Amino acid sequence: MAGYGTNRAPSVAGVLSGITTPTTRGPASSPRPLTSPFHPPAQDERGSLTRQVDPRVVVSPRQARELLTAVIYVGTWAHGRGRLLMPFFATLYFAALRPEEAVELRLQDCQLPKKGPGLLTLHQASTRAGSAWTDDGRKHEQRGLKHRARGDVRLVPVSPELVQVLRTYVDEFGTAEDGRLFRSPSGGRLDSTRYLDVWHKARRIAFPPHLVDSLLARRPYDLRHAAVSLWLNSGVPAAEVAEMAGHSVAILMDTYYKCIHGQREQMVQRIIDALSDDR
């Protein structure tokens, strides 16, 4: 497989073969939230109120790439910890995977062509439950996808940039025996305690002090929030975003409506254009 060859800075597709020090430009501009005179909170399938995403956690594409580059600089695990984990974080941003979905991603679930976009087929997740709470005494429990029936799958198209990141990663590090891409140093399931430490250190590398102390990308999960917000703000239909992100449309819009901005004029123009088609 080819390396991360690209001339487009600051593309993540080059971070494993040649890295320069991140140069964070500063905080992303705060999105203007949609306002509504009446916006009752939605409920998920279990009747629980959904939690709306705070726009302050959402990074820009440049900041996301700088964070992913910074991950490479985090050492130990025989000096390769950051290089092993950067592609894991990349799937959270470029494919909007939940961390528990990314840890179960297997090579056989990935279509990674040499050129062009790829496709991830998600069908399970892994959560840390403690050995006393699982059927087989292991610390992690495999389950179906969130908001999906057991056995259901979710198809996520991915950009050529992520395809190259994953191809290079597999070339260099291979997979676990069962095909999992991301794993612990012993080959077991990747635990949140391992990748959270790397993430916190990467934020201190990528961000100036005032951003380190902010809410911006404080958790790896915020990369997923940034991805979904980007898709919605790019004009991707909400139904398609919901399908790729593993939400219902109602839950998606209630969760992310504060992060959607700048589309009102576009929507008005589309309505005008549609009304003008028959004239």
Q: Are strands 140-143 and 154-158 parallel, antiparallel or unpaired?
A: unpaired
| pLDDT tens track for 131-140 | 433 344 455 4
Averaged pLDDT, 24-50: 44
What are the angstrom distances between the C-alpha of 4 and each of 17, 62, 101, 111, 237?
7, 18, 24, 17, 31
Enter the pTM of the model. Answer: 0.76
| pLDDT tens track for 51-81 | 899 999 999 999 999 999 999 999 775 667 8
Confidence (pLDDT) at 236: 92
CB-based contacts of 74, cutoff 8 Å, min separation 6: 81, 82, 85, 198, 201, 202, 205
Confidence (pLDDT) at 12: 56
Q: Across the strands, what pairs with 143?
A: 125
| pLDDT tens track for 75-109 | 775 667 899 999 999 999 999 999 999 999 999 99
Predicted confidence band of residue 269 (pLDDT cuts 50, 70, 90): confident
| pLDDT tens track for 202-245 | 999 999 999 999 999 999 999 999 999 999 999 899 999 999 99
| pLDDT tens track for 165-208 | 999 999 999 999 999 999 988 888 898 988 999 999 999 999 99
Question: How many residues make up the chain in this entry?
Answer: 279
Mean residue pLDDT of the chain comes to 79
Confidence (pLDDT) at 78: 60
* Percent of the chain whose pLDDT exceeds 70: 70
Confidence (pLDDT) at 91: 98
Which domains does the chain possess?
Answer: 53-260 (1.10.443.10)
CA distance 13 to 247: 28
Predicted confidence band of residue 24 (pLDDT cuts 50, 70, 90): very low
Averaged pLDDT, 7-36: 43
